[in-house]
């Protein structure tokens, strides 16, 4: 049994709604909390809500110049201001100044990032990797205390890849990804679920800050291994759709030979990989331009050491 | 696509509780004598009237490459992308909603420098498939749309006296049964809007959902495809001389559009209630 790790209690915590300006649950939650922050207070800390991409929110678009949630790389954050730079590069620098600097001792202790997806992912907790101890414990706590629906854990960082998301500005972070919800639409049920998930996460932080000992545990999580694009014509347009048998089957096993795409003439295209994978973000609207029909993941069980505050 | 949600069909009630029965006003329309109409020869299928409603866009693009499926003898069927700039950007429109500007004022506007893109485009479309209200106009236009609402495969009727279209809808509904195919009548003194398809003598709206904007679902595309197939079969059979007996169809007629509650900044202050969100159309 691994020894318990000790981490400092969390005092500076932020939550971003509207990192993407058309993902409405987080936008309306953040706007609600900006008017009435009571829900975000606990005995030992309070959470600062903010609107990630205000100009995109105003236009109800994912982004204005470029995807804000891909802009938090060291290179972009340290670049000098240029006149013709995309809006999001300047915004990322502002966010880094307020809640970072990324990688420094002054950075916020924790950042939540609220998202929706058009994919059938239910309630999904996104962490960079299984090595992020505090977020993994938070996910475990949420999974055992949030009873409305199953929560899956998605580990998004590919080996060797740098972190680029908004929550990477803080020392630790967690993204909540809820779907399916169309862009620009707010559904009451997902709004309520996101709110309840946040409440659960804050309960965890409060318990942690108060000195609760969280024992070691084993946890199942999905780790990204790659991404699969749509088949395309030479001119770049998609030549097939996600197959009806794969549509909505996020986190269910996809075996070699299973149908993945269907052409407009009705032909079936099967998965040609060597091993069973677990797909997520199946048919996410925002990913057509990123050339991703779905993300490929492996299911793992990780042993996470115990945790308590210093 | 049409701008109403399911809430648009509700009559305003004094109490806050709305029951299932009051949600629909049924109209029964029956033809009582034999009407003879000219054969329908020139048909268009519009996709991309809204640039982020993907089923119609991809169907039209496919049919432009391989149109065998939409050909019928004795008919010209022309698939057409109505708002190509919006389709390219995968956005509903560039300057204004194309599906609202086919009224006489906009169609007659002078082509000046700063005319909205969609108004200019409407005039071009009217030139190709119209002119609206003239004998030269296309006989029939199918206009393909998606909605994020749970409306299944809805057929939109513009005119309660268009016997040809009502008989077509009856035919399509029967062909798709037991699958539900609701008919939505947008005839109303102020709520009716000037659609792209309205330049034809027989305008037919096809609205399939739920599908998010910018997403292409195979099941939704398949449903839309089946509706078009049966619609074209009907035209073909009609042209061949078949007499369609009197029929009755149930339709949902628009009464009102209901907005969200809003604050003084115009922001919504409430969302669709969960029990209305899952309300099944039929």
Examine the pLDDT at A141 and tell me if it is beyond 90: yes
Averaged confidence pLDDT in chain B: 88
Does residue B282 belong to any structural domain of this protein?
Answer: no
Clarify whether B207 is annotated catalytic: yes
Residues of A known to be catalytic: 177
- pLDDT-derived band at A294, boundaries 50, 70, 90: very high
- Give a three-class secondary structure readout of chain A: CCCCEEECCCCEEEEEECCCCCCHHHHHHHHHHHHCHHHHECCCCEEEEEECCHHHHHHCCCCCCCCHHHCCCHHHHCCCCCCCCCHHHHHHHHHHHHHCCCCCCCCCCEEEEEEECCCCCEEEEEECCCCCHHHHHHHHHHHHHCCCCCEEEEECCCCCCCCCCHHHHCCEEEEEEEECCCCCCCCHHHHHHHHHHHHHHHHHHHHHHCCCCECCEEEEEEEEEEEECCCECCCCCECEEECCCCCCCCCCCECCCCEEEEECCCCEEECCCCCCEEEECCCCHHHCCCCCCEEEEEEEEEEECCEEEC
Of A189, A244, A285, the CB nearest to B219: A244
Give SS3 for B46.
strand
Closest residue of B to A192, CA-based?
Answer: B274
Examine the pLDDT at B16 and tell me if it is beyond 90: no
Examine the pLDDT at B29 and tell me if it is beyond 80: no
What are the binding residues of B for Zn(2+)? 50, 53, 145
Q: Do A184 and B213 touch (CB under 8 A)?
A: yes
- The pLDDT assigned to B280 comes to 55
| pLDDT tens column, A94-137 | 999 999 999 999 999 999 999 999 999 999 999 999 999 999 99
Q: Do B218 and A31 touch (CB under 8 A)?
A: no
Question: Which of the residues B7, B53, B79, B212 would you substitute to probe the A interface, choosing the one with the greatest number of A C-beta atoms within 10 Å?
Answer: B212
**Pairing state between β A294-304 and A5-7:** unpaired
Examine the pLDDT at B32 and tell me if it is beyond 80: no
Examine the pLDDT at A93 and tell me if it is beyond 50: yes
Does residue B223 belong to any structural domain of this protein?
Answer: yes
- pLDDT-derived band at B18, boundaries 50, 70, 90: very low
Q: State whether residue B90 sits within 8 Å of chain A by CB.
A: yes
Separation between Cα atoms, residue B157 and residue B151, nearest integer Å: 15
- pLDDT-derived band at B34, boundaries 50, 70, 90: confident
- The pLDDT assigned to B87 comes to 98
Catalytic option among B76, B179, B207, B243: B207
The residues of A whose Cβ lies within 8 A of any Cβ of B are: 28, 31, 118, 180-189, 191-192, 237-238, 241-244, 247, 262, 264-265, 283-286, 288-289
Is A115 annotated among the ligand-binding residues? yes
Give SS3 for B139.
coil
| pLDDT tens column, A217-236 | 999 999 999 999 999 999 99
| pLDDT tens column, B209-258 | 999 999 999 999 999 999 999 999 999 999 999 999 999 999 999 999 99
Q: Do A182 and B216 touch (CB under 8 A)?
A: no
Does residue B65 belong to any structural domain of this protein?
Answer: yes
Does residue B26 belong to any structural domain of this protein?
Answer: yes
Q: What pTM, to 2 d.p., does this model score?
A: 0.91
Does residue B242 belong to any structural domain of this protein?
Answer: yes
How many domains are there within chain B?
1
Averaged confidence pLDDT in chain A: 96
Examine the pLDDT at B25 and tell me if it is beyond 80: no
Does residue B33 belong to any structural domain of this protein?
Answer: yes
- pLDDT-derived band at A201, boundaries 50, 70, 90: very high
Separation between Cα atoms, residue A140 and residue B2, nearest integer Å: 44
* Shortest alpha-carbon distance between residue A300 and chain B (Å): 30
- The pLDDT assigned to B33 comes to 66
Q: Do A264 and B148 touch (CB under 8 A)?
A: no
| pLDDT tens column, A232-248 | 999 999 999 999 999 99
| pLDDT tens column, B103-117 | 999 999 887 778 999
- The pLDDT assigned to B279 comes to 64
- The pLDDT assigned to B5 comes to 26
- The pLDDT assigned to B24 comes to 45
Write out the residue range of the structural domain in which residue B164 sits.
4-277
Partners of B62 on chain A (C-beta within 8 Å) are 264-265
- The pLDDT assigned to B109 comes to 86
Of A186, A237, A247, the CB nearest to B217: A247
Does residue B88 belong to any structural domain of this protein?
Answer: yes
Q: Do B58 and A184 touch (CB under 8 A)?
A: no
Tell me the mean pLDDT in the region B157-172: 97
- The pLDDT assigned to A69 comes to 98
- The pLDDT assigned to B143 comes to 98
Q: Domain of B238: which CATH number?
A: 3.40.630.10
| Percent of residues, chain B, with pLDDT higher than 70 | 87
């Amino acid at each position: 049994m691994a020894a318990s790790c000790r981490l400092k209690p969390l005092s500076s915590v932020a939550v971003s709604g509207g990192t993407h300006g058309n993902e409405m649950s987080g936008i309306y939650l953040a706007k609600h909390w900006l008017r009435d922050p009571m829900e975000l207070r606990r005995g030992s800390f309070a959470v600062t809500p903010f609107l990630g991409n205000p100009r995109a929110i105003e236009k109800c678009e994912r982004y204005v110049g470029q995807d804000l949630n891909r802009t938090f790389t060291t290179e972009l954050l340290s670049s000098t201001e240029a006149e013709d730079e995309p809006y999001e590069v300047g915004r990322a620098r502002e966010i880094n100044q307020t809640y970072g600097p990324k990688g420094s001792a002054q950075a916020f202790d924790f950042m939540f990032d609220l998202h929706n997806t058009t994919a059938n992912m239910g309630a999904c907790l996104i962490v960079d990797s299984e090595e992020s101890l505090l977020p993994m414990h938070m996910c475990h706590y949420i999974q055992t205390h949030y009873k409305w629906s199953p929560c899956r854990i998605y580990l998004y960082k590919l080996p060797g890849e740098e972190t680029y998301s908004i929550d990477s500005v803080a020392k630790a972070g967690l993204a909540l990804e809820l779907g399916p919800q169309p862009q620009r639409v707010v559904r009451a049920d997902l709004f309520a679920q996101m709110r309840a998930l946040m409440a659960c996460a804050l309960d965890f932080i409060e318990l942690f800050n108060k000195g609760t000992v969280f024992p070691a545990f084993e946890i199942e999580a999905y780790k990204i291994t790659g991404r699969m694009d749509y088949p395309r014509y030479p001119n770049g347009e998609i030549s097939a759709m996600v197959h009806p048998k794969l549509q909505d089957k996020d986190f269910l096993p996809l075996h070699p030979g299973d149908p993945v795409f269907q052409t407009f003439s009705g032909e079936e295209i099967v998965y040609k990989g060597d091993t069973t994978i677990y797909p997520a973000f199946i048919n996410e609207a925002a990913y057509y331009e990123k050339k991703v029909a779905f993300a490929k993941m492996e299911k793992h069980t990780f042993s996470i050491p115990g945790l308590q505050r210093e | 696509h049409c701008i109403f949600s399911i809430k648009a069909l509700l009559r305003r009630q004094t109490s806050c509780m709305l029951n299932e029965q009051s949600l629909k006003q049924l109209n029964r329309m029956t033809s009582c004598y034999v009407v003879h109409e000219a054969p329908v020869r020139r048909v268009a299928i519009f996709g991309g009237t809204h640039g982020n409603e993907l089923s119609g866009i991809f169907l039209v693009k496919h049919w432009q490459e391989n149109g065998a499926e939409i050909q019928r003898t004795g008919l010209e069927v022309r698939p057409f992308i109505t708002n190509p700039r919006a389709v390219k950007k995968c956005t509903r429109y560039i300057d204004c909603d194309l599906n609202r500007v086919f009224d006489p004022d906009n169609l007659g506007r002078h082509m000046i420098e700063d005319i909205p893109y969609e108004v200019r485009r409407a005039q071009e479309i009217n030139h190709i498939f119209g002119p609206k209200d003239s004998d030269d106009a296309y006989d029939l236009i199918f206009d393909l749309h998606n909605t994020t609402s749970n409306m299944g495969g809805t057929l939109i009727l513009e005119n309660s006296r268009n016997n040809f279209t009502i008989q077509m809808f009856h035919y399509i509904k029967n062909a798709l049964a037991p699958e539900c195919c609701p008919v939505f009548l947008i005839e109303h003194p102020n709520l009716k809007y000037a659609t792209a398809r309205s330049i034809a003598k027989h305008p037919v709206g096809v609205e399939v959902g739920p599908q998010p904007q910018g997403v292409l679902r195979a099941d939704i595309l398949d449903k839309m495809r089946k509706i078009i197939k049966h619609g074209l079969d009907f035209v073909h059979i009609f042209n061949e001389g078949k007499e369609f007996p009197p029929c009755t169809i149930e339709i949902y007629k628009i009464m009102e559009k209901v907005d969200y509650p809003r604050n003084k900044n115009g922001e919504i202050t409430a969302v669709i209630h969960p029990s209305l969100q899952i309300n099944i159309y039929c």
